[in-house]
Amino acid sequence: MEYTQLGRTGLKVGRLVLGTMNFGPQTDEAESHTIMDAALDAGINLFDTANAYGWGANKGRTEEIIGNWFEKSSDRRDKVVLATKVYANMGPDGEPVWPNHDKLSALNIRRAVEASLRRLKTDHIDLYQFHHIDRDTPVEEIWQAVDVLIQQGKILYAGSSNFPGWKIAQSDETAARRGMVGLVSEQCLYNLAERRAEMEVIPAAREYGLGIIPWSPLHGGLLGGMIKKQVEGGRRATGRAADALTDPAVRAQVQAYEDLLDKHGLPPGEAALAWLLTRPGVTGPIVGPRTLDQLTSALRAVELELSEELLAELDAIFPGPGASPEAFAW
């Protein structure tokens, strides 16, 4: 495994991040533990989760699975850079949200941290991430809550997820006025098929020294050889991938992508991950394996080198939006 600094921090993390969203809903606890064992053995040290993972009536279940894995061996927690998130309503789906039981008020942040610590069976969270912007809570209040938690030793760093560029700037400028480090990472939707983050999110993150942690690097499976799998009777497209493939233009793009990589003898999923590793500012994409085989495939992407010719051909199929403001101003 290759390692890099997380943004402007002294924290070293692997070029792949283990995403745990499938642990519980799609992958049972025993298999989840096997995947975490294999990830750690392979050198992956940044494990990403969220308090709401487990979903539905099982919100928090994913953190519990990770906590049970930590409990099995005393050295696991020390080797892992543990990241989780706060924002979501933790009550049952479909029921009204009780006041102050979601978003980023100081009260909910305090409550959510304590609950995550219990589920994760640890005394601190290394990277505590805001899962979404909170339009109702002043930024100053959020940083005050974070400052208290850092002083208490319950979290070490703060990061964002799904923040627009202006919110990254606002957050870090506010933190700087308080004498705080501010955000150290941004977890955003970014892949070959979805490159809008290049307009403002990634430039803002790089300007403020945030490590970029792309989620959905295969765009819900769309970039993992989806059309070929359908033809061969394999896994059918669902969710974002299924919706995208109903558009003839998108389907033609994906077919051209698969044909190009077939010509080069490269697995599409591994190539999509390797492409992200060439992008400026990217710390490492989140891989969310449902099985051990999927983790093994993702690990090969770290060793994969894409030629300049192939990178140019990929850009031709999936052109980026261009720099801001030129992309929309003229």
DSSP 282: B
Query: Catalytic one among 53, 128, 190, 257?
Result: 53
SS3 state of residue 94: coil
Q: What is the CA radius of gyration of the chain?
A: 20
Q: How far is CA 286 from CA 4, 21, 219, 230, in A?
A: 15, 10, 11, 24
- Compute the distance between CA of residue 240 and CA of residue 252 in angstroms, rounded to an integer: 16
SS3 state of residue 281: coil
Half-sphere exposure of 112 (CA within 13 A, CB side): 29
Give the type of residue at 321: P
Per 3-state DSSP, the chain is made up of helix, strand and coil in percentages (nearest 5) of: 45, 15, 40
Phi then psi for 186, rounded to 5 degrees? -130, 125
Residue 53 known to be catalytic: yes
H-helix or E-strand spanning residue 86: strand 81-86
Q: Are 311 and 278 in contact (CB under 8 A)?
A: yes
Half-sphere exposure of 207 (CA within 13 A, CB side): 15
Tokens representing 64? 């519990």
254-285: b (≥16 Cβ within 10 Å) or e: beebbebbeeeebbbbbbbbbbbbebebbbbb
Q: How many CB atoms lie within 10 A of CB 50?
A: 24
Phi then psi for 267, rounded to 5 degrees? -65, 130
SS3 state of residue 309: helix
**Catalytic residue IDs:** 53
